[in-house]
Structure formats: C-alpha cells, structure tokens
Amino acid sequence: MSDDTGQGAAEEWREIGGGFTRRVDGADPGSWDAPAPVDGWRARDVVGHLVEWFPGFLESGSGIRLEVATSVEDDPAAAWNELERGVRDLLDDPATATRVLSNPHIGDVPLDRAVSQFFTADVFMHTWDLARATGQDESLDPERCARMLAGMEPVEEMIRASGQYGPRVAVPADADPQTRLLGFIGRDPGWRAPGRS
C-alpha cells in the first residue's frame, strides 16, 4: 500500500518516524518536562501520547501486540525508540501487506494503510509539538503539509466532532502550508515555551 505520492508505508514510516526520532534523540534530557504546545502537556507527554495510544489501537484491530517495556516517565527516548523499531519491523514484514485492521469507527482497512493514515500522520503532526517544546528544528515537509490539509479540510466537521483536535486557529490567508496545517489542527503557530524566544 502506498500513499498518493507512490511512497510505500514502510518508506513513509522511515521518513516520518525517523524525523520524530531525530527530535527525540536530540532533546536535551532537561527539556522533557518543558511545556509543549498542547495545553497541559510537557514534552514527554507528546511521546507518551504516541507510545500509549497506538499499541492498543493496533492490538484491538489486528491482534498484533507491540511491546514497549520502557516507561515514558523513566526514559521517553528509550520508550519511543522501542516503539519506532516495532512499527518499522511491522511494516517491513511481508505478511503485513495481506493483513487487515478492523475498527468499529473505520471498518476494515488494510493494515499498512491504517498505520500510515492514523499513526504515521499523527507522528508527523506531533513532530512540530516536540520540536517546539524542546527548541529544535520544527520544519515539516511543506508538500506533505499541503496534502494533509487538503485531505482534512473537506471532513473538518467530522474531525472537530472527534474531539481529537482543538478549535481552528486563524492564520493569514497567504500563510505557508505548515502554518496553515498547524492552525487547522488547533495549534498556535506562534506558541513558544516560557523562557524561549
């Protein structure tokens, strides 16, 4: 299964998951308790969110269990790297191409497409959160930002009703794709952690 660029789910994961991993591994150990752009979250909570929701989603829909033995509270970088390897191995497994994920909200979806659509996309968006919280490179691929925004805008009402996104933040009409995507998902593109310029 490939995305609309022809990129396979495993290749896409290496790119997006790898980008998040670089921010995880590049975070100063003292920055894990720094505020994050999501209200009430710290930098470690960005990692915690991803490490906590995806294994349950995967197991309930496919019966595949990804173990993350390390606690995010103890070592967020180690916990993330365990999950990242597990997702990489899953997408590299030839059997994944024939598996299906079943979910009462989305029906039956090819497993690799489900990982791409729901998890890889979430990791992409949260890359900005982690980078901004920890003072690292926060730039996202503008073409991917534009594609994601184009896919989400037609179903905005459903997205808002899910409770997974905050209210849309107004941005200039001529803003770049990353700024427009951030505003759409409820992020203030101008947010800065206290003490960071």
Domain ranges of the chain: 9-139, 141-189
Locate tokens 């490939």: which residue? 2
In whole angstroms, what is the distance from residue 48 CA to residue 71 CA? 9
Token pair listed for 163 = 């409770």
3-state secondary structure of 11: helix
In whole angstroms, what is the distance from residue 45 CA to residue 36 CA? 8
State the greatest distance between any 2 C-alpha atoms of the chain, in Å, as a whole number. Answer: 50
Locate tokens 């100063």: which residue? 28
Token pair listed for 52 = 């906590």
pLDDT in tens, the chain (197 residues): 445 555 799 999 999 999 999 999 999 999 999 999 999 999 999 999 999 999 999 999 999 999 999 999 999 999 999 999 999 999 999 999 999 999 988 899 999 999 999 999 999 999 999 999 999 999 999 999 999 999 999 988 888 887 788 889 999 989 999 999 999 999 999 999 876 65
Locate tokens 């022809």: which residue? 6
The pLDDT value recorded for residue 160 is 83
Are 194 and 162 in contact by the 8 Å Cβ rule? The answer is: no
Token pair listed for 90 = 């899953």
In whole angstroms, what is the distance from residue 41 CA to residue 33 CA? 9
CATH 3.30.460 is right for the domain spanning 9-139: no
Q: Closest Cα partner for 80 from 33, 133, 4, 22?
A: 22
Query: What's the pTM?
Result: 0.93
* CB neighbour list of residue 54: distance below 8 Å, 6 or more residues apart: 66, 83, 87, 119, 122
- Side chain identity, residue 3: D
